[in-house]
Amino acid sequence: MRVRLRFAKLGKVRWTSHRDVARMWERAFRRVDLRLAYTEGFSPRPKVSFGLALSTGHESDAEYLDLVFADEVELEALSVSLTDALPDGIAVTGAVPLAERAPALQEAVTAVVWHVEPTRADGSPIDASELGQHVDRAMGLPALPTSRRRKGRDVEEDVMPVIRRCELRSTNPVSLEMELTTQPRSAKPGDVLAGIARAVGLQEGLADARSLRTHQWIERDGTRLEPLAADTRPRALEARAS
């Protein structure tokens, strides 16, 4: 049985790396005594596939995980039991049966939405009206070059093609909503803020005091779907299968 889970990663656990989060899930599967399906060959591995990696220090309401069970499972009970077995800050918020030939999440997701709370790079607050002016000015430019670290060296990249929206959302705390593409390349909220600061000549720079991923989107033929609504097996089929 193939299943797609949605989970949140909030609070102190945001400082846990993607690899360590994967280990947390493996321990949770053992605690709940779930029978996962395994690959064949000399080194069998559980059929577990994570979606887009979340950078250490970032939080999320919308992380996804695909897995294959050796047996049929009851999804409502699964969500509760796994949440109880996972560390504080990680909670399963949805589970659906998945179609057999569903594309991998890393290939299917095309855009993500972030709630970002910026500050000046030294940690001091920035006024909402000033930030709004900087964002409006930067978004009106043809390019937004920034320096990014790749494979041990600094490279110049234009992050403007990645940005679909970057808008002031609230003033207390000051926050932006960013919608960023993931294909053919992506950017982190901090990269966008660095590009804005550089474009408008903000010498002290901008940093993301908090970045929360709120949505991931799969887009096909003009339709936008949340991953729990894409490539899933109808519940009616699920009931007949059991």
Which tokens in the block code for residue 63?
């992380």
Whether pLDDT at 128 is above 50: yes
CA angle, 75 as apex, 70 and 78 as ends, to 5°? 80
- Residue 238 binned pLDDT confidence (cut-offs 50, 70, 90): very low
- Note the pLDDT tens digit of each residue in 141-156: 999 999 877 778 888 9
Between the two ends of the chain, the Cα-to-Cα distance in Å is: 10
**Would strands 109-120 and 174-181 be described as parallel, antiparallel, or unpaired?**
antiparallel
Lowest-pLDDT choice from 47-51, 68-72, 148-152, 181-185: 148-152
Which tokens in the block code for residue 6?
């949605």
Whether pLDDT at 239 is above 60: no
Report the share of the chain in percent with pLDDT over 90.
76
Report the share of the chain in percent with pLDDT over 70.
96
The arithmetic mean of pLDDT across residues 3-14, rounded, is: 96
Domains along the sequence of the chain with CATH = 2-98 (3.30.70.580), 109-220 (3.30.70)
- Residue 234 binned pLDDT confidence (cut-offs 50, 70, 90): low
- Note the pLDDT tens digit of each residue in 217-231: 999 988 999 999 998
Whether pLDDT at 15 is above 70: yes
Gap between the Cα atoms of 85 and 89, Å rounded: 12
pTM, whole model, 2 decimals? 0.91
Which residue has better confidence, 160 or 234? 160
Which tokens in the block code for residue 222?
């003009």
CA angle, 116 as apex, 207 and 187 as ends, to 5°? 75
CA-to-CA dists, residue 198 to 91, 141, 168, 201, angstroms = 38, 12, 18, 5
